[in-house]
Each structure stands twice: as C-alpha cells, then as structure tokens.
Chain A
Amino acid sequence: MLIKVRKSWELKDSDVTAQSLYLNRRQIMAGAGIAIATAALPSLAFGKAYDSAVKTKYGDDETLTSFKDITSYNNFYEFGTDKRDPSRTARALTTKPWSIKVEGECNKPGTYNLEDILKNQTVEERVYRLRCVEAWSMVIPWNGIPMANILSQFEPNSNAKYVQFDTLFRPEEMWGQKRRFLTWPYQEALRMDEAMHPLTLAAIGLYGDTLPKQNGAPIRLVVPWKYGFKSIKSIVAIRFTRRRPKTSWNMMNAREYGFYANVNPAVDHPRWAQDRERRIGDFFKTDTKLFNGYASEVASLYDGMNLRTNY
C-alpha cells in the first residue's frame, strides 16, 4: 500500500497555473509591444519579479519545457548527484545578501553587492535551448542581462584573454560539497570573446520570476551553444586572466569534458553518442545541431579551429 504524501518540493496546482498564466501573458505582450523593466525596479503588475522583462526574438518557435521539469531535474552537484536532489535540498541556500568578488586583469577589481551590479540594467527575456552533455535538452525562458553588460562594468583590460567564474563554496548549506564529487568550488571559464558575445547571458530569473535556487540563484551564466556544465550557477567570483583557467569537469576528466564544450553532434562523448538528444517531455529523440542551433551567431568565434581536437 503506497500512500502519497506531497513533499515540500513538489509543485502545487497553483504553480502549474502560474505557468499557463505566464504563457498567456507572453502572447499578450508579444501583441502589445515591448515593456521595459530594470532589475532594480521589478514590475509588480503580476506579482512576479520580471513580469515585464524585455521580450527578445530568441526561441519564438520553440515549445517551452514545463516549469516543473526545469525546476525538478537539475545537475547541481553541490546539492547532490541525483538530478532530483537539488529541488529537494537547495532551499537551504541563503541568497541574500550576495556579493561577487571581481579580480584580475581589470580596472575595477573589488567586492560588489549583487544589487549594485544589477542596478540600471535592463532585464530581458530569452528563450534558449539548453543542451546537457548527457544528451538531454530543455527550452528555458530565462530572464537576464547580457553578460557583456555585467563584465564591462569592471573594465577588463587588454591582458584579459579569459574570464573565470566560481560557484559559492558553503558546505553548511550545500551538502554535496562535503563529498568529493568534484573539486570545490565549482569553476568554469570562457574566452573573453565568448563571454562578451551577445548570446551569453547572466540569468537572474526564469519563467518571469526570480531564479529558483536549484537553477543557480541568484545569478548564473547561460551559454546556450555550449554543453550545460559550462553555464556555472550561483556565481560569487569573476576573475579576468591572461591564461586559460582551470575548469571543474575538465580537471575531473579531461578526455570526456573539454574546455570549449561546444555542442557538436559530430564529436561523441567517449561513453555515448552526441548526434541526438532527448528533449525533456518528448519520447522521441531530436537531432542535435552544431552549436546547439546557434551556429549562425557563434561559428565565427571558432574560425579555423579544429572542433574535434578542441572539444
């Protein structure tokens, strides 16, 4: 006899309603034109933080993955290695106050409050495909700010060739960090031109509301043409460097997880094929596209580069 008890992380019907309301609003707003919000003054019209985020052209032809799936199927090893763990345990994380330490090759290093970094920035809505290295994918309506707008505040100098990001290290709240699944803190990095690319986003919300903790609150990177592990969550440090920084999965297994990690159907992971992916919610697999379908915008970043050896 199984008795169903709703766990606190499970969604109530009202949450699902919130999603359909959101979808309706998307259509209404698309017809009514563009509304503008700034991160410092989120609109309260619908009671959600980024209700009136600036709509963008991205992903208009895509079917969104459900809010429930986006928030209950997460690779965030700081909260456990089972993809359901983060939705169950990430609520332990304190996201206020939040500050980011900026270091390295820039004119304005220092420790900044997140609110100050976001002040006067325009929040956009970007519907992006997310392709995980494990061959599954989602379509997520992010709310965020182009990463270039964040990074340029710190005035990186001409020596800055790369930018490295650290996730928070706080084992009291992130129980997974008590185990050596990876080297902590989680670290990721991009080439400067990748980080400054208009597609690269600093996400602070999804589905029109504040970023859920299991999705990397309060601020995370989103690089839609790379495998998901590049899109580091809960960022507390930004470091501009001359040389290519170390990155967590690459340190763990360099043969399987490269620095570039560009989505590429022609280059298999040693343990599984990458030519197809399962879109969460679908039964049949979909063909994976080069650069996750963003080739027309980003392929020029890699002109002349061997994508097979620079995986």
Chain B
Amino acid sequence: MKAAVKSALKNKAAKPVVWLVCLTPLTYLVAIGPDGWGANPVEMFNRFLGDWGLRGILLTLCITPLAKITGQPGILRFRRLIGLFAFAYVCLHLSSYVVFDQFFDVAAIWKDIVKRNFITVGMISFVLLVPLAVTSTQGFKRRLGARGWQRLHRLIYVIAMGAVLHNIMMVKANYTEATIHAVILAALLGWRISQSAHRMSISGKQPEISA
C-alpha cells in the first residue's frame, strides 16, 4: 500500500491531477453561472474567492504534517503548486474587491484599508504573501540558501493567522465557518510547536520550526 502510494505520487499524471483539483473551486464558480451567483454576484464572488484563498493557505500548511505523519515525503513535491494556487485565489479575491466591489475607486479603497480593521489585516496578509510567491522558485531557493529561504517562508504562519483573523472580523453573526478555519489553523500550528518541542528535547538546542 505504502509503496503503491509512493509510486503514484511520483507518477507523471500526479501533477495534472493536483492542478485539476486546485482548479475545481474556480471551475465550479464559472459553471454555476448567473443563476448560481444569485442576486448579488459581487458579494458572492468576493466571499467565495476569499474562502478558497484561506482554505488554500490552510491546505498548503497541511502538506508537511501530512508527509511526516504518513511517511510519504513525495507529497512535498506539490507544496509549491498548492501554495501558488492559494496565492492565485487570494489575488482573485482582492481583484474582485478592487474591480467589482469598488470599481478602481482608489480613494475608497485606501479609506477602507486604513479605516476598516478587517481590511487592514487582510491587506497585511496579502502584502506578506507576495514575497513568498515570488521566491517560491528553485532559483530563489538556491540564491537565498536553504536557511534563509526557510526563515522567509515562515511568514506563512503570520499570514495564515492574519487571514483567519480577517475572516473572523468580517463575520456579522454566524461564526461557524470562521471557527472551523481557526480550529484547523490552531491544529496545524500546534503540530509544529509539538514537533519543535520534541526536537529540542532530543538535541537540547533552540526550538526550530520547519516551514
């Protein structure tokens, strides 16, 4: 079983399958059409894309624990792709806000960013996400060095916390979904803390959290 999974992860078709899976939310959004978008498509798009941006970030954070727990390091091969898809959904979320919601009204957008706390937090998360997307290539990894690259990419924890906070802060009355997102993030961060505590107890060294 383990060997079969291992070879499947190495299979040439694995990457296209991950692509397809990552494109599913976007395909769904297009496929449901005006009927599915409902009376307020702007709101629907914005929320849908924001949700999948956040879920993409959480999914990216699942990869390392999943690889460790299942003993399948082959999964790590897809981390970059999934992370970039998360970034793409966040970009679409931001674009739908800029284009559909505000229609490039720079003054109104700026006012929102400085005045509305939940948008300030969302914007900080987005700005921090950009360098991670840019430096996600092998070339940058080499240039920055493994340690430097890893240190930079630990920003994803701050970004994920910011994104969950942004989600919680925009809720009007029903916290169900935001709470689910927060619990998943807490579990993922908790796993990393326990890992580094474990490593520290073995080596007696400073805590070290892997990205």
Contacts and interface: CB of A to CB of B under 8 A. Distances in A.
Contacts of B111: 273
A58 interface: no
A2 B40 contact: no
Given A136-B40, A273-B111, A273-B112, A284 B103 contact: yes
A11 to B, nearest CB: 10
A271 B173 contact: no
Interface in B1-55: 28, 31-32, 35, 38-40, 42-43
Interface string A249-260: 000100000000
B113 to A, nearest CB: 12
B39 A73 contact: yes
A69 interface: yes
A237 interface: no
Interface of A is mostly: loop
Interface string A278-303: 10110111000000000000000000
A104 to B, nearest CB: 28
Contacts, number: 48
A284 B40 CA distance: 12
A69 B35 CA distance: 11
Interface string B170-196: 101110000000000000000000000
B108 interface: yes
A72 B173 contact: no
Contacts of A268: 115
B80 interface: no
B116 interface: yes
B174 A181 contact: yes
Contact of A181 (B35, B116, B173): B173
Interface in B116-148: 116-118
A170 interface: no
B174 A73 contact: no
Contacts of A278: 40, 42
Task: Kindly name the residue among B117, B169, B174 whose own CB sees the greatest number of chain A CB atoms within 10 A.
Answer: B174
Interface residues of A, number: 27
Given A2-B31, A284-B103, A73 B173 contact: no
Interface in A1-46: 2, 10
A259 to B, nearest CB: 18
A77 interface: yes
Contact of B40 (A73, A252, A276, A285): A73
A215 B35 CA distance: 20
Given A2-B31, A273-B112, A73 B38 contact: yes
A280 B39 CA distance: 6
Contact of B32 (A2, A84, A179, A281): A2
A285 B43 CA distance: 13
Nearest to A256: B172
B174 A272 contact: no
A271 B116 contact: yes
Contacts of A94: none
A280 B42 CA distance: 10
Contacts of B100: 283
Contacts of B40: 73, 83, 136, 278, 280
A207 to B, nearest CB: 15
B118 to A, nearest CB: 6
B173 A77 contact: yes
B21 to A, nearest CB: 16
A25 to B, nearest CB: 24
A281 B103 CA distance: 16
A23 B178 CA distance: 43
Contacts of B170: 271
A81 interface: yes
Contact of B38 (A72, A273, A284): A72
Nearest to A73: B39
B23 to A, nearest CB: 14
Residue among B39, B117, B118, B173 with most chain A CB within 10 A: B39
Interface of B: 28, 31-32, 35, 38-40, 42-43, 100, 103, 108, 111-112, 115-118, 169-170, 172-174
13 contacts: A2-B28, A73-B38, A73-B39, A81-B172, A83-B40, A179-B174, A252-B173, A268-B115, A271-B118, A271-B169, A273-B108, A278-B42, A284-B103
Closest CB pairs A-B (n = 6): A73-B39, A81-B174, A69-B39, A181-B173, A2-B31, A280-B39
Interface of A: 2, 10, 68-69, 72-73, 77, 81, 83-84, 134, 136, 179, 181-182, 252, 268, 271-273, 276, 278, 280-281, 283-285
